[in-house]
A and B are shown apart, each in its own frame.
Chain A
Amino acid sequence: MSGPIPLQWPLCLSALLFTLGMVGVLTRRNMIQVFMSLELMLNAVNLNLVAFSRHLESLTGQVFVLFVFTVAAAEAAVGLAIIIAFYRNKPTLNVDEFNLLKW
């Protein structure tokens, strides 16, 4: 086999990863697993951007990925800090027990 990978392949993979992440956020009950699913969604987007960037032969997509990485790192730091602050007051990571405020 030779030649470049068709654009559809990474796009399908990215759509699959995004869906997996979305289902994970909605169904996982452990806070850390929800968090990992969120990161999976962001990385699905990154894959999309890189695939388009390669296909369109434009660098914009890859620059965008760098921004997404940076923001995701900041977001992870703040997110984990919030989880720790919560855990100090109520030692649980189960999403179902976040019930002080009704949804």
Chain B
Amino acid sequence: MMPAIHYAAILPELCLLVFGLGHLLLSFTVQEENKGSLAAIAILILVVAGATLIPLWDQPVVTFAGSYAVDNFALFFKWVFLLAAVLAILHSGSYLRQEGMEHGEYYTLLLFAVLGMMVMASARDLMVVYVGLELMSITFYCLVGFLRGRLGSNEAALKYFILGAFSSAFLLYGFSLIYGITGTTSIPEIHTFLAAHPEAMAAPLALAIVMVIVGLGFKVSMVPFHFWSPDVYTGAPTPVTAFLSVGSEAAAFAAILRIFVSGLAGQSPLWSGLLTALAVITMTVGNLMAIQQRDVKRMLAYSSVTHAGYILVGVVVGGAAGSATVMFYMLSYAFMNIGAFGVVAALNRTEGAEGASLDHFAGLAKVHPALGAVMLVLLLSLAGIPPTAGFFGKFYIFMGAVQANLVWLAVVGMLNSAVSAYYYLRVVVYMYMRDPEGEPQLLLSTPMRWSLAASIAGVFALGLFPDTILALARASAAVF
């Protein structure tokens, strides 16, 4: 007998899958001059998927024989993915047109990457985690290398591919050990088994946990598995970098929360110490490296390493409270990071496109005051200055750490946050206090303006009404 499948609960995923394939077929028939409409259709698909998520709120469903959970936790993350994808697509059209690479499959790949992330957020079984992770990763390998005429993009894709496959082998080895120890791949059953046999095979289980942390730590660019991120972020097309930095990180954190905070909660002595140490190292190393960068894209790459460190503090706090702060942070991070990479995309120059040097930002506030102001707000938010989203993201995470008696961890986080202000504000100094060198070419199409406006609106909305969103995140994290 086939287990019952709740098709209504997976409607958003089905919608992305079916319309995504339709989008691919459509892109073969669209005339060259109508290519711009492909982005609009992709956004429409994402919006429809987002709308089909709404009736599922507060109606938790477990389907596919217990391996797929559609609960508020998954829904919150799915909205973050869809939002990030819409913001990134708005930045993509004119960027790709300038590179002469506006092909429909770009948007299709992006839709499938979102599908992979959504599968990860809902996964209640290690097998499903793996399949979702690979669906996301393989599409990202293609997207990172999308500018196939450009060596930097090829090289970034190769590095991402090799290190990505390497880390997923570790993840899988960890999963296979967990399966061997507990006899199941279902996360709740793993929890039940380990609760019944608390002393079961501590040594192999510790090895399995370390391997899973290596595999997922790679995806969130946790130090010491972060070497790929600056190279890949620099070489990839900038809108892809924006989406990769937010989407892949959010999806991996969703999986980390499901596996560790839910499945392995009883084993926290085995992993919380390790994750705490990694959080401290990740924040500090990310900061120290970011300070040295003169390329803004690389600086933002290391800054995303640092942010992964802050978010890890929320994971270490654990439980519903810690998870809610992680979710709030991911949402605010989606607004501010995609916006910041969007400004970098607007400054993109065809000739020196391997990145955006600090010098390109010199005098931006004089050349284009609005764009300068947008970047200013986004950088202040990344640095965590009120009344922006970034401030409350950090505030809630560190408050959670204090309440969990991890005061020292909160202090380390705050010190790191103060250090990070240096390299964010350096860009501001270049924008406002230097004179522009020559006439900068700006690429600022109408969709990019919308996306930047949405980022700014989000940053302020989360900064002015943080309680509402945190309440929503708490309601979503209540599944733990």
A contact residues vs B (CB 8 Å cutoff): 11, 18, 21-22, 25, 31, 34-35, 38, 41-42, 44-45, 48-49, 51-52, 55-56, 58, 60-61, 63-64, 67-68, 71, 74-75, 78-79, 81-83, 85-86, 88-90, 98, 100-103
Contact B227 A103 (CB under 8 A): yes
Please indicate the chain B residues that have their CB under 8 angstroms from the CB of A79 in the complex.
141, 161, 165
A85 in complex: contacting residue of B127, B154, B172, B175, CB < 8 Å: B154
* Chain B residue at minimal CB-CB distance from A18: B173
Please indicate the chain A residues that have their CB under 8 angstroms from the CB of B142 in the complex.
78, 81-82
Please indicate the chain A residues that have their CB under 8 angstroms from the CB of B177 in the complex.
48
Contact A103 B231 (CB under 8 A): yes
A38 in complex: contacting residue of B126, B141, B169, B185, CB < 8 Å: B169
CA distance A89 to B154 in the complex (A): 8
A38-B166 CB under 8 A given contacts A82-B141, A101-B234: yes
Contact B141 A78 (CB under 8 A): yes
B145 in complex: contacting residue of A56, A60, A71, A82, CB < 8 Å: A82
Q: Is B237 an interface residue (CB 8 A)?
A: no
| Shortest Cβ-Cβ A-B pairs, 5 listed | A41-B169, A52-B180, A86-B154, A101-B231, A48-B176
Contact B151 A89 (CB under 8 A): yes
* Chain A residue at minimal CB-CB distance from B160: A82
CB distance from A52 to the nearest CB of B (A): 4
* Chain B residue at minimal CB-CB distance from A51: B180
Contact A38 B165 (CB under 8 A): yes
Q: Is B184 an interface residue (CB 8 A)?
A: yes
* Chain A residue at minimal CB-CB distance from B137: A75
Q: Which interface class (under 10, 10 to 19, 20 to 34, 35 or more) fits B?
A: 35 or more
* Chain B residue at minimal CB-CB distance from A90: B151
Contact A45 B172 (CB under 8 A): yes
CA distance A58 to B179 in the complex (A): 10
B180 in complex: contacting residue of A21, A42, A48, CB < 8 Å: A48
A44-B173 CB under 8 A given contacts A61-B179, A78-B138, A82-B141: yes
A60-B185 CB under 8 A given contacts A25-B162, A78-B138, A78-B142: yes
Point out which of B151, B161, B176, B179 has the most chain A C-beta atoms below 10 A from its C-beta: B176
A82-B176 CB under 8 A given contacts A60-B185, A67-B127, A103-B231: no
CA distance A22 to B158 in the complex (A): 17
Contact A89 B234 (CB under 8 A): no
Please indicate the chain B residues that have their CB under 8 angstroms from the CB of A82 in the complex.
141-142, 145, 154, 157-158, 161
* Chain B residue at minimal CB-CB distance from A79: B161
Q: Is B152 an interface residue (CB 8 A)?
A: yes
A48-B176, A68-B130, A101-B159 given; 20 more Cβ-contact pairs under 8 Å: A25-B166, A38-B166, A42-B165, A42-B169, A45-B175, A48-B180, A64-B126, A64-B127, A64-B130, A64-B176, A67-B130, A74-B134, A75-B165, A78-B142, A79-B165, A82-B161, A89-B154, A98-B155, A98-B159, A103-B227
CA distance A48 to B395 in the complex (A): 44
Please indicate the chain B residues that have their CB under 8 angstroms from the CB of A55 in the complex.
180
Contact A60 B179 (CB under 8 A): yes
Please indicate the chain B residues that have their CB under 8 angstroms from the CB of A89 in the complex.
149-151, 154
CA distance A92 to B365 in the complex (A): 44
Q: Is B156 an interface residue (CB 8 A)?
A: yes
Q: Which residues of B, 157-211, contact A by the 8 Å Cβ criterion?
A: 157-159, 161-162, 165-166, 169, 172-173, 175-177, 179-180, 183-185
CB distance from B105 to the nearest CB of A (A): 12
Contact A101 B235 (CB under 8 A): yes
CB distance from A27 to the nearest CB of B (A): 13
Please indicate the chain B residues that have their CB under 8 angstroms from the CB of A21 in the complex.
169
A100-B152 CB under 8 A given contacts A48-B173, A75-B134, A79-B165: yes
CA distance A11 to B179 in the complex (A): 13
Contact B227 A78 (CB under 8 A): no
CA distance A88 to B150 in the complex (A): 10
Please indicate the chain B residues that have their CB under 8 angstroms from the CB of A31 in the complex.
158
Contact A85 B131 (CB under 8 A): no
A67-B131 CB under 8 A given contacts A18-B173, A21-B169: yes
Q: Is B148 an interface residue (CB 8 A)?
A: yes
Point out which of A22, A31, A79, A90 has the most chain B C-beta atoms below 10 A from its C-beta: A79
CB distance from A70 to the nearest CB of B (A): 9
CA distance A41 to B162 in the complex (A): 12
CA distance A39 to B76 in the complex (A): 35
Please indicate the chain B residues that have their CB under 8 angstroms from the CB of A49 in the complex.
176, 179
CA distance A79 to B163 in the complex (A): 11
Contact A74 B138 (CB under 8 A): yes
Q: Is B249 an interface residue (CB 8 A)?
A: no
Contact A60 B176 (CB under 8 A): no
Contact B127 A75 (CB under 8 A): no
CA distance A41 to B177 in the complex (A): 14
CB distance from A21 to the nearest CB of B (A): 7
B162 in complex: contacting residue of A38, A51, A81, CB < 8 Å: A38
